[in-house]
Chains A and B, each alone.
Chain A
């Protein structure tokens, strides 16, 4: 008797993924600057979706306020890189850490709420932060601030640097979530998601696990915010703390497949493609997205990845299969 994770499918897909990442890393030498900027956005969608999946799919916490940490990440980049002179490569992860610190503090507040109240509570936190940053003159107040961190790089090089930074951050974050879910902590998290009382009776520290997930998701969203700021070179409270980010994260996770690491990757690609095709429908396009999300929740709760996946068919196998040795 033994338990193992890897399957022939997962080994093959690991190689395919490796090749894909290598191809993506080569992209700045092969594709236009416009395409690179677009791809940075795609990577951010994967990153944000992965974080929201960690919270909702594995932690069982539906947050409507992750934009709080995207905003902190964006302003964090401006503060750490522009005002403190830290190189951008370090400023992005540090902005994530800053978001994580804020998340740790707010967790003591929002964890007193559950379910729908928790969702609204997280949204309120994001709105409060937006209003606070609108008051800070040193960061451009309501009009916002430009990102000067990449000032001394030529545009072609700057775009490539931001591209590689985004690719590296996303790949490492997804891999990090994968390693987390394979660990003891991940096992406890999956238990908490299914039944917190039973998990507690089996030795899982429920509050500690939830706090860890909440902070980790904030760090990821903070880095996404820093990357978005690096991509658009402008940070304003309205857009940095926009509820649209939550809408994107929900779409990416629900359509792609909640509770599986592969899901948000699939969902992000789909969202990215849909956004390009449908954006000229204006506000109706958002309504359509909402309808699609609701439809999927009712008809395909496991998302698109749920249609494809099976116990022996996973790219990121988390669960163990028992086999005769």
Chain B
């Protein structure tokens, strides 16, 4: 099966600082890939490169068989890549419904009632319908994070990029989020999910990737990756002696 997303040889530097170094991986259609790694490892930069907000210095990005490396973020969204940001970026002067409608109209390309319906659906699945007419700028953090997800979903993406959307959720709120993401994956949307709350990832993802300082340490079965000694060292910062 052709991969939905193919990253090869990706590199990104900011001046003398190399943030992404020779990164290559693929994502299959409908697959959920989790991404873990220490802070500052380049995870968000990688998402910015995939959705087109940043251009890579080297390497190529292919989406659904097309080379999108030189294509802007708006065209990539219309091609099917949705994105939610780690620090929410709501359209503050618009209502919550208006925010979702931007995704449904300009991202998914729907018109009239169809666009409205897609926006409603996205808001329902993220439990934001009760706030539909509230100005997005007045939302509390949790609802802003939900809106990030709702907007990206309203675009009708084939691949959705999630950046630490579980952060700050209570133990009772987390399972609902996990169910929403699992529902997305089950409906055929591929997911790349950066997350620090690893047990949320492990409940949903098919594969796990560990990124550290721009390079990939490990990729594969989630449980195996989490047990990989190099991954453990990267997280804890020192070598872990295993009891024999």
Contact = CB atoms under 8 A, between A and B. Distances in A.
Q: Do A and B bind?
A: yes
Interface stretch (B17-25, B85-93, B207-215): B85-93
A187 B91 CA distance: 11
Contacts of A311: 133
Given A187-B101, A188-B102, A322-B132, A198 B89 contact: yes
B94 A191 contact: yes
Nearest to A188: B106
Interface stretch (A13-21, A116-124, A200-208): A200-208
Contacts of B74: 199-206
A198 B90 CA distance: 8
Contact of B98 (A200, A203, A204, A320): A320
A204 B90 CA distance: 14
Residue of B89, B95, B101, B102 ringed by the most chain A CB atoms within 10 A: B102
B120 interface: yes
A197 interface: yes
Contact of A202 (B72, B107, B133): B107
A56 to B, nearest CB: 14
Nearest to A322: B132
B91 A191 contact: yes
B29 to A, nearest CB: 21
B105 A194 contact: no
A190 interface: yes
Interface in A293-317: 311
A225 B58 CA distance: 50
B85 A198 contact: yes
B53 A199 contact: no
A190 B120 contact: no
Interface string B124-148: 0000010011000000000000000
B94 A190 contact: yes
B78 interface: yes
Contacts of B97: 3, 320, 322
Contacts of A197: 53, 73, 89
Contact of B93 (A2, A190, A202, A204): A190
B201 interface: no
Contacts, number: 105
B133 A203 contact: no
A193 interface: yes
A35 B54 CA distance: 57
Contacts of B109: 203
A135 interface: no
A184 interface: yes
B91 A321 contact: no
B101 A202 contact: no
A28 interface: no
A195 B88 CA distance: 11
B94 A203 contact: no
B51 A201 contact: yes
Interface in B3-22: none
B77 interface: yes
A195, A198, A201, A322 interface centre (most CB from chain B within 10 Å) = A201
A259 B129 CA distance: 26
B91 A194 contact: yes
Given A3-B97, A184-B105, A322-B133, A198 B116 contact: no
B106 A259 contact: no
B37 interface: no
B155 interface: yes
A200 B73 contact: yes
A187 B89 contact: no
A22 interface: no
A200 B72 contact: yes
Contacts of B53: 197, 200-201
A202 B92 contact: no
Residue of A187, A188, A195, A206 contacting most chain B CB atoms (<10 Å):
A187
Given A200-B74, A259-B93, A319 B102 contact: no
A31 interface: no
A26 to B, nearest CB: 38
A203 B77 CA distance: 5
Contacts of B93: 190, 193-194, 259
A1 interface: yes
A199 B133 contact: no
B69 to A, nearest CB: 16
A206 B106 CA distance: 11
Contact of A204 (B94, B102, B120, B129): B102
28 contacts: A2-B116, A190-B98, A191-B106, A194-B94, A195-B89, A195-B90, A198-B90, A198-B151, A199-B91, A199-B102, A200-B72, A201-B53, A201-B74, A201-B85, A202-B74, A202-B77, A202-B103, A202-B106, A202-B151, A203-B102, A203-B155, A204-B102, A206-B74, A311-B133, A319-B95, A320-B95, A320-B98, A321-B95
Given A190-B94, A319-B95, A322-B133, 12 more contacts: A187-B98, A191-B102, A194-B92, A197-B89, A200-B73, A201-B83, A202-B77, A202-B152, A203-B106, A311-B133, A319-B98, A322-B129
4 closest pairs, A vs B, by CB?
A203-B107, A198-B89, A194-B91, A203-B106
